[in-house]
Structure 1
Amino acid sequence: MIQTIADSSQYPFEWIDVTDPDDEELKQIREKHGLHESSIKDWLQPDHLPKYEDVGSYVFIIFRIHSDKVGTEADTVAELTNKLAIFMTKEFVITMHKKEWGAPEVILEQQVDQHSCEDTIQLVNEIIKSCIATYEAPSLKLTKDIEFYEENMFLKTRKASLLKGLYYLRRRVEVTRRILMLSHEIVDKMDVPGHSNTYTRDTRDLYVKLHNIYDTLFENMNHLVMVYFSISSQRTNEIVRVLTVFSVFFMPLTFIVGIYGMNFDFMPELRLKWGYPGVMILMGAITFGIYVWFKRRGWL
Structure 2
Amino acid sequence: MARFLKKNDMTAGKPPGSLIFIGQQKTDEPSLRIIDYDEETLRDEVVPEAAALSPCLGSKTTSWLNLDGLHVPEVMERVGQAFSISPLILEDIVNTGHRPKMDEYPDMLFITLKMLSINPTHDRIISEQLSCVLTGRCLITFQEQPGDVFEPVRDRIRHQSGRLRRRGPDYLLYALLDCVFENYLKVIEIMGERIEAFDEEVLDDPSPELLEEINLYRREMAFVRRAVRPAREIALKLARTESELVAEEITPYLRDLTDMAEQTTEAVETYREMLNDHLNSYNMAMANRLNDVMKFLTIFATIFIPLSFLAGVYGMNFEFMPELKLRHGYFVLLGIMGAVVAAMLFYFKKRKWI
* Smaller-chain TM-score bracket: 0.7 to 0.9
| Alignment pair present for 1:44 and 2:94 | yes
Offset of 1:271 from its aligned partner?
Answer: 4.4
Structure 2 SS opposite 1:183: helix
Q: Which residue of 2 aligns with 1:107?
A: 153
Partner SS, residue 60 of structure 1: strand
Where do residues 67-106 of structure 1 align in structure 2 (5 Å cutoff)?
Answer: 67-69=117-119, 73-74=123-124, 79-104=125-150, 106=152
Q: Does 1:150 align with 2:199?
A: yes
1:291 matched to 2:345: yes
1:269 CA displacement = 4.3
Comparing both structures, which one devotes a greater share of its residues to helix?
1
Deviation at 1:45, TM superposition (A): 2.8
Q: Give, as a single letter, the amino acid of the residue that structure 1 aligns with 2:33.
A: Q
Partner of 2:207: 159
Name whichever of 65-74 and 214-223 sits farther off: 65-74
Identity of aligned residues (%): 23
Cα distance between partner residues in 2 of 1:276 and 1:127:
90
Unmatched 5+ stretches in structure 1: none
Q: Does 1:212 align with 2:266?
A: yes
Offset from partner CA, 1:192-214 (integer Å, 9 cap, x none): 16546221122112112222222
Aligned partner of 1:3 in structure 2 is: 33
Alpha-carbon distance in 1 for matches of 2:321, 2:97: 82
Secondary structure of the 2:112 match is strand
User: How many equivalent pairs are there?
Assistant: 295
Distance across 2 between alignment mates of 1:58 and 1:263:
102
Q: Contact 1:13/1:90 (CA < 8 Å) preserved in 2?
A: no
Distance 1:264 1:103, change over 3 A: same
Tell me how far apart the structure 2 counterparts of residues 50 and 71 of structure 1 sit (CA, whole Å). 27
**Contact 1:125 / 1:190 at 8 angstroms: preserved in 2?**
no
Task: Give 1:131 deviation, angstroms.
Answer: 1.0
Deviation at 1:102, TM superposition (A): 4.2
Q: Give the structure 2 partner of residue 169 of structure 1.
A: 217
Q: Which amino acid aligns with 1:139?
A: I
Give 2:235's aligned residue. Answer: 187
In 1: Cα distance, 2:34 partner to 2:101 partner: 25
Give 3-state SS (helix, strand or coil) of 1:80's partner: strand
When structure 1 is superposed on structure 2, of 242-251 and 143-152 the one drifting more is 143-152
Is residue 270 of structure 2 the alignment partner of residue 232 of structure 1?
A: no
Distance in 1, matches of 2:318 and 2:229, equals: 80
Query: Could you tell me how far 1:46 is from its partner in structure 2?
Result: 3.2
Moved over 6 A (4+): none
Structure 2 residue matching 1:134: 3-state secondary structure: helix
CA distance in structure 2 between the partners assigned to 1:105 and 1:236 by the alignment: 54
CA separation in 1, counterparts of 2:349 and 2:150?
73
Quote the offset at 1:268 in angstroms: 5.2
Q: Give the TM-score normalised by the residue count of structure 1.
A: 0.86
Q: 1:278 to 1:152 in 2, by over 3 A?
A: same
What's the CA shift for 1:2? Answer: 0.9
Alignment partners' CA distance in 2, 1:42 and 1:280 = 85
Offset at 1:89?
2.1
Q: Contact between 1:173 and 1:214, CA under 8 Å: does it hold in 2?
A: yes
Instruction: Tell me how large the CA RMSD over aligned residues is.
Output: 2.7
How far is the alpha carbon of 1:189 from its aligned partner?
A: 2.1
- The 1-side partners of 2:299 and 2:215 are apart by 35
Aligned-pair CA distance for 1:298: 2.0
Do the aligned partners of 1:64 and 1:179 also contact (CA within 8 Å) in 2? yes
Mark the CA change 1:270 to 1:96 in structure 2 (over 3 Å): closer, same or farther: same
1:158 deviates by 3.8
Secondary structure at the counterpart of residue 34 of structure 2: strand
**TM-aligned CA deviation for residue 290 of structure 1:** 0.5
CA shift in 2, pair 1:10/1:130, >3 Å: farther
Aligned to 2:175: 126
Cα distance in structure 2, aligned partners of 1:71 and 1:55: 42
Q: Secondary structure at the match of 2:65?
A: strand
Cα deviation, residue 56, structure 1:
5.6
Q: For the structure 1 residues 295 and 5, does the alpha-carbon distance in structure 2 shift closer, same or farther, using more than 3 Å as the test?
A: same
Indicate conservation of the 8 Å contact 2:206/2:282, yes or no. no
How big is the shift at 1:109?
Answer: 4.5
In 2, the alpha carbon distance for the partners of 1:89 and 1:265 equals 110
